[in-house]
Every structure is written in structure tokens, then in C-alpha cells.
């Protein structure tokens, strides 16, 4: 399964809404779709699992959705600490894949 994220880079201002896309080459069970945030020099931080469940401590401005081959991560109002790279991932089997990442940068 190939995961393709778009756009590659998203230039937005604090307070704006960010919508990130993750498209799969074949159907992915919603149970096994996750989103991560990564900042320079840090390990990936789990945001969303099971396509729409927020991980512990993740603010409710982060929302995951979608099914089948199309998944989205929405950040309702960007905070300064949200500018980072975001990855989607499919798991739950003996072969995982990651999207190539979307960079959310300050406009």
C-alpha cells in the first residue's frame, strides 16, 4: 500500500485552518491509520490513531477523519507550536507504510 500525502508543503498563518490529505493506493482499514507530528530533532509524536481517535494529551483542535482510501487531518486553528511535519501511517499488519510527509510552515 502506497500512501501519498498532499500538499507537500502548506504555508499558513497562526489561527488559520490546516487540512492535510493522505490517499492510499488501496483500501486501508480505518482501524489502522495514524497521524504523527514531528519537529526537528524530535521523535514522531502520535496525534491520531484508528483514523479519528486522538492520542492522550492531544488538543481537540486536531481532528482525523476519512475512510477507505482517503484520510484527512484537520487542525482547526493553528497554534505556533503546530508548525511541523506531519506523517500518515498504515499499520496493523506485517507490512507498514508511511506517507512522505506534509510540512506545515508559517506563512
The residue from 43, 57, 60, 80 that contacts other proteins (CB under 8 A) is 43
**The C-alpha cell of 51 is what?**
483514523
Residue with cell 500525502: 5
The residue from 22, 49, 62, 82 that contacts other proteins (CB under 8 A) is 49
Confirm or reject binding of residue 46 to other proteins (CB under 8 A).
yes
Confirm or reject binding of residue 15 to other proteins (CB under 8 A).
no
Question: Residue 44 in contact with residue 36, Cβ under 8 Å?
Answer: yes
End-to-end CA distance of the chain: 33
Which residues are CB-neighbours of 3 under 8 A, at least 6 positions away? Answer: 22, 23, 24, 25, 28, 88, 89, 90, 97, 98, 99, 100
Complex with other proteins: residue 34 or 73, whichever CB lies closer:
34
The region of 20-28, 60-68, 69-77, 86-94 touching other proteins under the rule CB under 8 A is 86-94
Complex with other proteins: residue 16 or 98, whichever CB lies closer:
98
Site of interaction with other proteins (CB under 8 A): 31-32, 34, 36, 43-44, 46, 49-50, 53, 55, 87, 89, 91-101
Amino acid at each position: 500500500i502506497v500512501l501519498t500525502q498532499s500538499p507537500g508543503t502548506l504555508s499558513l498563518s497562526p489561527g488559520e485552518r490546516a487540512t492535510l490529505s493522505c490517499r492510499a493506493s488501496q483500501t486501508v482499514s480505518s482501524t489502522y491509520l495514524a497521524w504523527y507530528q514531528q519537529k526537528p530533532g524530535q521523535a514522531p509524536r502520535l496525534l491520531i490513531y484508528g483514523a479519528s481517535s486522538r492520542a492522550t494529551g492531544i488538543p481537540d483542535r486536531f481532528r482525523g477523519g476519512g475512510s477507505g482510501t482517503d484520510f484527512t487531518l484537520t487542525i482547526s486553528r493553528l497554534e505556533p507550536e503546530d508548525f511541523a511535519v506531519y506523517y500518515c501511517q498504515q499499520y496493523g499488519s506485517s507490512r507498514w507504510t508511511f506517507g512522505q510527509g506534509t510540512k506545515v510552515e508559517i506563512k
